[in-house]
Amino acid sequence: MNQSLVSKALFRSIRLNTGFAFVFPCLLLLLLVLGFPAFVAVANSFTPVWSNVKTFTLDNYIKLQQDKQFWESLRVTIVFVAGTVSLHLILGLGVALALNTEPLGNWFFRIIAILPWTVPDVISGLVWRFMYDPTAGIINYFLDRLGVQNPYVEWLAAPHLALPSVIFADVWRGYPFVMLILLAGLQAIPKELYEAARVDGASVLQEFRHITIPGLSRMFQVAFALDVIWQFRRFGLVYNMTQGGPGNATDILPLAIYRQYFRYFNFEYASAMAVVLAVIMIAISIPYVRMMVKRT
Amino acid sequence: MNKKLLNLLLVIVMLAVLVPTTLAAPPAQEGQDYVVVADDWLSKLADKYLGNPMAYPAIVEYTNKKHAEDASYAEITNPDLIEVGWKVYIPSAEEAAAIAPAPPAAAVTLVLSNWHLAEPHWEKTIKAAIPLFEKEYPNIKVELQVVSYAEKDAKYATEIQAGAGPDLMHLAGYSIRNFVESGFLYDITPFVQKEPSGFLDQWYPELVEVLKYQDKLYGLPSDHMAMILAYNKKLFTEAGLDPNKPPTTWDEFVDYAKKLTRDRNGDGQIDTWGFGTVGAVDPGWELRFSPVLLSHGAAYLTPDNKCSALNSPEAKEAFKFWVGLVTDAKVVPPGVTSQGAGAVRVQFANEQIAMKIGSGWTEPIIPTINKDFNVPENLGAAPMPVKAGKTLAKTTTGWYSSWLINKNTKYPEQAWTLLKWLTSKESDQRWFDGARVLSSRRDVSGDPDKGLKPYQPIADDKFSQVIQAELKHAQINPQLKEWPQIADTVNKEVQNAFTGSKSADDALKDAHDQINQILAPYRTAGETCPAY
């Protein structure tokens, strides 16, 4: 038997175990902080954990299936996520491309571009609510100055406007993260590729199509997966802007769960809703995790 | 974070409790002379011989007294400075006690959480009152904890489920029943049984009733007020209306509101509206909508709380009237479905709206938003309008709140002491003086049946006297665990009707059906509710 191969294998297993030892406290913490509540939530959705009467039941899921408001919330959530994520990607890519040209005062524009992301989403929600206010908000003020006939646009109070208004605010809040990832991706594309293309007489559009897009695809996938997961969990911004109203127009699932759990104390029912949301997010994140695993 | 703080607090409290008890038994000691050696200091001696480091002033006192007669004793001018070789006199425990009774240790700290602390006038009132309690009960310290009105229920529920939370909390009618039935509160029945008989008769009975569950009592009533119509007299005058003749019927109300909805600055845009109200999903919404239902002779639920009663012709009429204020009369500012109670107050204080539904809190809050609003001159109060031609006993909402003890409290006895103090006649008078809220107590808000007159300052205050007089027409909202869900359901359907995404009829029907679904657990298998 080859001596060095054995020692190599041994060395490798020690290294792996040391690695595990380093990761272990973190894993333990994750299990305690995330795993335990998650376990309780799942258990709670089948049987009341906090009650003396403990019987296994699927009632909560059956009720969920018949709950029109739940399906409506799910629909609103999907529109919200689809709207915000696609606009985050489009705006993020646009700004990343602009910043990648390294304009004069690059650092200044970078700071400006990233500012919305530094504001907690709760605060963003409050700020946008004030800006959208029909009578006192700055948006309608400008519309009025521009000579718009009926300047009292009910941005958050009209059912067909509320969701687009909320999505718009969230695009402002959330695009910098996508922009940062894509900017990093852009800067990782070797400049030589562009130079070579230019020598071959490629147009800007062709460069974009054949170098930038393929070079960015990985980063695009990462940004997409993370953003989708985060947007499914968005709470503070919408809560502070509309509380889900008017009616159910902006009632995304996290708000519905919050209301059931913290306002109505329907702990088991809220847990069932949360489990459904978690299952959706896990399903979405599987490709992302597989991608990460493949890379390493 | 809170839990950490609480734990820290707990450790401090435990130390405060344990340390004095372990040291409280001082060795039975005769008074004695003592010669100071290196590393002595007075509190150390006091600790060693008297069992209490804080008893050192007794040593100073006695030594100086001896010094006056016998110069061999040292004279201590500065207790922090003693010299080796000084002769001091250490008194016996009895002697020491006679001179400087050691102050009783602050044994217990209670955390008192209250949304009012977020309002300046209330904060001032409460912060002035608590020292009076601490003086009366030196063994109880009170730590105040501020919470927002909208978030308090969620905060308390989470904390209590986690085995923590404040010792005492203040809840409004919207969620009291939910807390009572969820088992979040401390059962105070044993304490009440020790009180003189008739103890609970000090409050209006229906407000004690909401705190009872399965023959146990879970709190004591706090404020109680009737919702009334608050209006801006200046805007009335400007619109050509008599500021001393507020609307008395809903027809008049709409008429007034239309006249008050105007363009005041002449730019061609309407900038002042007749009426503003809560339209967002907000715990304050039910208070403003219920008077409309009641004064039309309608109710949310059937008397047995098993079905929705929103299918009655009266309810339909009331609902359509309310929706029409926005959709037909257009006397409400745009964006009503995103206005919470706070936002409406801002509109009122800034003279964007001429009328709103309010109560005792309105008077002191307005000047904190706009100090130029001349409250004594311009703020009018009137009973809620009623439906012409109807004679009904109850025509407006009764607002009420309660003080409750957390079931997790470590100090139920002390919490009870504080609870009783907070709800005493003197305290409730104090809350009126500082914050203009009326009380659930018959001896403060008055009860003609018992021959009890209201607290004089209530009777003297032009705004409050309207609220006091309306108490007899006030009815509290249905009392059941599901109330927040029911109120929110109607609230959302009103939004749908306001914005036109449903007709008033469809919205009310949907509310009716949803409520019946929520109430299903209260009905037996065969029981059904009438369809809309």
Which tens digits make up the pLDDT trace of B320-362? 999 999 999 999 999 999 899 999 999 999 999 999 999 999 9
C-beta separation of A255 from A237 below 8 A: no
In chain A, which residues have their Cβ closer than 8 Å to the Cβ of B282? 243
Residues B387 and B509 in one domain: yes
Residues B163 and B182 in one domain: yes
The complex's ipTM works out to 0.83
In the predicted structure, residue B497 carries a pLDDT above the cut 70: yes
pLDDT exceeding 90 applies to what percent of chain A? 40
Residues B429, B454: Cα–Cα separation, whole Å: 10
**B280 vs A144, A245, A264: nearest CB:** A245
In chain A, which residues have their Cβ closer than 8 Å to the Cβ of B271? 135
**B337 vs A129, A135, A245: nearest CB:** A245
Rounded to a whole number, what is the distance in Å from the CA of A266 to chain B's nearest CA?
9
Task: Please report the sign of the dihedral spanned by the C-alpha atoms of residue B326, residue B331, residue B335, residue B337.
Answer: negative
Residues B428 and B463 in one domain: yes
Tens of pLDDT, residue by residue over B414-430, are: 999 999 999 999 999 99
- Asked if residue B79 is part of any domain, the answer here is yes
Indicate yes or no: CB of A262 within 8 angstroms of CB of B333: no
Average pLDDT rounded to a whole number, residues B308-318 = 96
Boundary (domain end) residue, out of B73, B99, B125 = B99
Residues B129 and B35 in one domain: no
Tens of pLDDT, residue by residue over A264-275, are: 988 889 999 999
Q: Write down the pLDDT at residue B19.
A: 41
Indicate yes or no: CB of A242 within 8 angstroms of CB of B338: yes
For A69, the token pair is: 């408001």
pLDDT band, very low/low/confident/very high, at B14 (cuts 50, 70, 90):
very low
Kindly state the helix (H) or strand (E) to which residue B144 belongs, with its residue range: strand B140-146
pLDDT band, very low/low/confident/very high, at A251 (cuts 50, 70, 90):
very high
Residues B265 and B341 in one domain: yes
- Asked if residue B183 is part of any domain, the answer here is yes
Q: What angle do CA A12, A14, A19 make, to 5 degrees?
A: 95
Residue in B337, B351, B510, B519 to test binding to A, most A beta-carbons within 10 Å:
B337
If you average pLDDT over every residue of chain A, what do you get? 88
- Asked if residue B513 is part of any domain, the answer here is yes
- Asked if residue B253 is part of any domain, the answer here is no
Kindly list the residues of chain B whose beta carbon comes within 8 Å of any beta carbon in chain A.
153-154, 157-158, 161, 178, 182, 269, 271, 279-282, 333-338, 347, 352, 481-482, 484-485, 488, 492-493, 495-496, 498-502
Residues B406, A71: Cα–Cα separation, whole Å: 36
Indicate yes or no: CB of A134 within 8 angstroms of CB of B482: no
Where residue B438 sits, what CATH number does that domain have?
3.40.190.10
In chain B, which residues have their Cβ closer than 8 Å to the Cβ of A158? 499
Q: Comparing A217-226, B1-10, B104-113, B330-339, which segment has the lowest mean pLDDT?
A: B1-10
In the predicted structure, residue B156 carries a pLDDT above the cut 60: yes
Residues B392, B27: Cα–Cα separation, whole Å: 74
Q: Write down the pLDDT at residue A52.
A: 65
Residue A144 touches partner B, C-beta closer than 8 Å? yes
End-to-end CA distance of chain A: 30
Q: Write down the pLDDT at residue B10.
A: 47
Indicate yes or no: CB of A134 within 8 angstroms of CB of B335: yes
In the predicted structure, residue A92 carries a pLDDT above the cut 60: yes
C-beta separation of A180 from A100 below 8 A: no
Residues B168 and B185 in one domain: yes
Q: Write down the pLDDT at residue B134.
A: 94
Boundary (domain end) residue, out of B79, B99, B119 = B99
- Please report the residues numbered 226 through 255 in chain A whose beta carbons come closer than 8 angstroms to any beta carbon of chain B: 242-249
Residues B365 and B455 in one domain: no
- Asked if residue B238 is part of any domain, the answer here is no
Residues B329 and B264 in one domain: yes
Q: Write down the pLDDT at residue B211.
A: 95
CA B402 centroid distance within chain: 7
In the predicted structure, residue A158 carries a pLDDT above the cut 80: yes
Indicate yes or no: CB of B492 within 8 angstroms of CB of A50: no
Task: Please state, as a whole number, how many other Cβ atoms lie within 10 Å of the Cβ of residue B38.
Answer: 6
Q: Is A98 exposed, middle or buried (0-12, 13-18, 19+ CB in 10 A)?
A: middle
Q: Strands (DSSP E) along B359-488, which ranges?
A: 379-382, 396-405, 474-475
For A14, the token pair is: 């020690």
In the predicted structure, residue B136 carries a pLDDT above the cut 70: yes
Residues B118 and B48 in one domain: no
Residue closest to A59 by CA, chosen among A46, A72, A49: A46
- Asked if residue B236 is part of any domain, the answer here is no
Residue A161 touches partner B, C-beta closer than 8 Å? no
Average pLDDT rounded to a whole number, residues B268-284 = 91
In the predicted structure, residue B102 carries a pLDDT above the cut 80: no
End-to-end CA distance of chain B: 49
- Identify the domain containing residue B42 by its residue range: 2-99
Indicate yes or no: CB of A246 within 8 angstroms of CB of B488: no
C-beta separation of B440 from B207 below 8 A: yes
Q: Could you tell me the pTM of the whole model? A: 0.80
Q: Compute the count of residue pairs across chains A and B with CB atoms less than 8 Å apart.
A: 86
**A265 vs B182, B279, B492: nearest CB:** B182
pLDDT band, very low/low/confident/very high, at A295 (cuts 50, 70, 90):
low
- Please report the residues numbered 37 through 76 in chain A whose beta carbons come closer than 8 angstroms to any beta carbon of chain B: 50
Q: Write down the pLDDT at residue A102.
A: 82
Average pLDDT rounded to a whole number, residues B395-415 = 95
DSSP, collapsed to helix, strand or coil, labels residue B516 as helix
C-beta separation of B271 from B347 below 8 A: no
Q: Write down the pLDDT at residue B7.
A: 56
- Asked if residue B515 is part of any domain, the answer here is yes
Residue closest to B484 by CA, chosen among B150, B223, B146, B116: B150
Where residue B57 sits, what CATH number does that domain have?
3.10.350.10
Residues A199, A197: Cα–Cα separation, whole Å: 5
Bond into A246 cis (ω within 30):
yes
In the predicted structure, residue B99 carries a pLDDT above the cut 70: no
Residues B506 and B406 in one domain: no
Q: Write down the pLDDT at residue B13.
A: 44
Q: Write down the pLDDT at residue A47.
A: 81
Tens of pLDDT, residue by residue over B427-464, are: 999 999 999 999 999 999 998 888 899 999 999 999 99
Domain count, chain B: 3
Residues A56, B519: Cα–Cα separation, whole Å: 23
- Asked if residue B235 is part of any domain, the answer here is no
Q: Write down the pLDDT at residue A44.
A: 86
Residues B265 and B200 in one domain: no
Boundary (domain end) residue, out of B475, B492, B510 = B475
Residues B429, B256: Cα–Cα separation, whole Å: 36
Indicate yes or no: CB of A157 within 8 angstroms of CB of B334: yes
For B17, the token pair is: 């409790």
Residues B26 and B75 in one domain: yes
**B158 vs A50, A249, A262: nearest CB:** A262
Rounded to a whole number, what is the distance in Å from the CA of A261 to chain B's nearest CA?
8
Please list the residues that pair with B404 across neighbouring strands. Answer: B169
